[in-house]
């Protein structure tokens, strides 16, 4: 390699000269478009522009389950749906909501606040307005709510198991804190 190419001013002029002499080499690459997502049908089966739509959970049902359990449940369901659709940024945002809501619930359990459903419903509304609504509207607009739906049995079983584990952990931690406090 020529040392003179390492000098920033020289390198910039050399790059400009190369770009003027060989413009086709320096053309910006065209962005690769994401495939369209559609339910599997005869029309889309062999079309590379379409990605087969995997079975997904109903986002509205996830929101309702969140009201009766915890916003983390709905956020996790939405995160899994977004991951299945290839929307990793939206999935990550939902995972953050899930973790934050579990942390808030744990703090409330530890300090023994008797807040009832007030904070829970407030968290669900905040999550739904910031993220949950995006998925509900996306499903309505993109799929017209016509998609293969995933079964809720495993998700609800894991929810119940999670509630039991959370209750046991909160009890153990609060007992330890009381015995040392």
Which of 92, 53, 50 is closest to 75 using CA atoms?
A: 92
Do residues 86 and 51 lie in contact, with contact meaning Cβ atoms separated by under 8 Å?
Answer: yes
Can you give the pLDDT at residue 39?
A: 55
Can you give the pLDDT at residue 85?
A: 92
- List for the chain the helix, strand, coil content (%; round to 5): 65, 5, 30
Query: What does the angle CA 15 – CA 17 – CA 21 come to, to the nearest 5 degrees?
Result: 115
> Can you give the pTM of this predicted structure?
0.69
In terms of DSSP bridges, do strands 50-52 and 36-38 run parallel, antiparallel, or are they unpaired? parallel
Do residues 92 and 80 lie in contact, with contact meaning Cβ atoms separated by under 8 Å?
Answer: no
- The domain locations on the chain are 69-180
pLDDT in tens, the chain (181 residues): 566 556 666 667 777 787 888 877 776 656 555 545 655 556 655 665 656 788 999 999 999 998 888 899 999 999 999 999 999 999 999 999 999 998 888 787 777 667 666 787 888 999 999 999 999 999 999 888 888 999 999 999 999 999 899 889 888 988 888 888 6
Which ranges in 27-68 belong to alpha helices (H)?
Answer: 59-68
Can you give the pLDDT at residue 170?
A: 81
Residue ranges with strand state E in the chain: 36-38, 50-52
């Amino acid at each position: 390699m020529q040392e003179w190419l390492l000098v920033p001013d020289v390198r910039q002029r050399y790059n400009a000269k190369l770009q003027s002499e060989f413009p086709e080499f320096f053309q910006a690459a065209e962005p690769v478009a994401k495939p369209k997502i559609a339910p599997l049908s005869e029309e889309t089966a062999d079309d590379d522009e379409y990605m087969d739509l995997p079975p997904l959970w109903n986002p509205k049902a996830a929101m309702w389950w969140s009201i009766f359990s915890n916003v983390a449940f709905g956020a996790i369901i939405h995160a899994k749906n977004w991951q299945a659709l290839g929307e990793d940024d939206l999935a990550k945002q939902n995972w953050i909501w899930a973790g934050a809501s579990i942390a808030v619930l744990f703090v409330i359990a530890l300090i023994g606040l008797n807040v009832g459903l007030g904070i829970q419903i407030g968290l669900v509304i905040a999550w739904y307005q910031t993220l949950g609504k995006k998925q509900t509207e996306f499903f309505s607009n993109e799929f017209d709510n016509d998609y293969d739906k995933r079964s809720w049995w495993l998700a609800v079983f894991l929810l119940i198991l999670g509630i039991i584990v959370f209750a046991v952990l909160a009890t153990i931690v609060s007992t330890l804190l009381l015995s040392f406090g």
